[in-house]
Amino acid sequence: MTHSDKLAAILAAVQTDPGNRGLARDPVDNLFTATAGDFERACRLLAGWPVAAVFTGFYIPTATPAAFETDGPLGAVLLVRALSAMGGGGTVLGEPPVQNAVRAGLREVGAAASADHFGHDWPLITLERAGPAADGKCYTMRGRDIRPHLSDWIHKWMDRDLRGHASIGIGDGGNEIGMGKIPHETIVKNIPNGDLIHCRVPTDHLIVAGVSNWGAYALAAGLFVLLDRKPPADLFDPDRELAILEVMVREGPLVDGVTGKQTATVDGLSWEEYSRPLLEMQRILDS
């Protein structure tokens, strides 16, 4: 398989819609087709310089307890590990519970990421990060405004610095930062409640996946493909990923964004279904 073949196979593994959110409700004009080519461009951006500041954290107000979700922080941990394995590095920014979870996950694998500093010209990655709609509010898929629960300084920082940095957005619902790159009409015809919740903030490149963590996994796998490197043995290992998630859920705390429960699950999926793309990436990277 060529590099392009492998990248296409990796992207195909994550561009499904297990939550039936409407990512490709229109077979021609949808969130996947609207971002054609962005995944490879995002991979090539980081392959040239494997460092990044990753912003993540999506608040679930209806959870028990209300908390940030597992989708986003878990993918950020794998992405930082991948960048470090390539001789680069990353930092993860988010609200205190997100930081708690990320630090705990990285400690579990003997890695580290600093939220204190990063290069002023590093690429920015927004991973499952709620962003403002046309009215300035940040919405859940059900139309709940969660902006009051998000740190205002992060939004102010991103509003300023997204314009000055190369940026990659990763999302799975239309309401995350980066989705402003997709025409509003496309969001509306595919995503229920899309007219209200569509985040209007674009990024240079946008990766849409069935689960946002999957998009982060795909980005990491794409870097190994382009750099002709083999990943560390445990990087795409589902068992290792579950152990990391268990620690992060406890230490954040974090909750499943669909069930609202403090469990080591993501978007209400069984671990078998959730980890399927990891196994596929292992196969592709070994081929």
Mean pLDDT per block of 10 residues along the chain (287 residues) reads: 96 97 98 98 95 95 95 97 92 94 94 62 93 95 95 68 80 97 98 97 96 98 97 96 98 97 98 98 96
Strand partners, 171: 208
Confidence (pLDDT) at 4: 95
Torsion angles phi and psi, residue 78, rounded to 5? -65, -40
pTM given for the model: 0.96
Distance, in Å, from the CA atom of 266 to the CA atom of 263, rounded to the nearest integer, reads: 8
The superfamily in CATH containing domain 3-279 is TON_0340 (3.90.1640.20)
DSSP label of 26: S
Distance, in Å, from the CA atom of 193 to the CA atom of 137, rounded to the nearest integer, reads: 14
Sheet holding 89-93, edge to edge: 89-93, 51-57, 124-129, 167-171, 205-208
State which H helix or E strand residue 196 sits in: helix 194-197
The answer to whether 158 and 127 are in contact (CB under 8 A) is: no
- The two structure tokens encoding residue 175: 């309401």
Give Cβ neighbours of residue 181 (< 8 Å, ≥ 6 apart).
34, 35, 38, 169, 202, 203, 206
Confidence (pLDDT) at 110: 87
State which H helix or E strand residue 167 sits in: strand 167-171
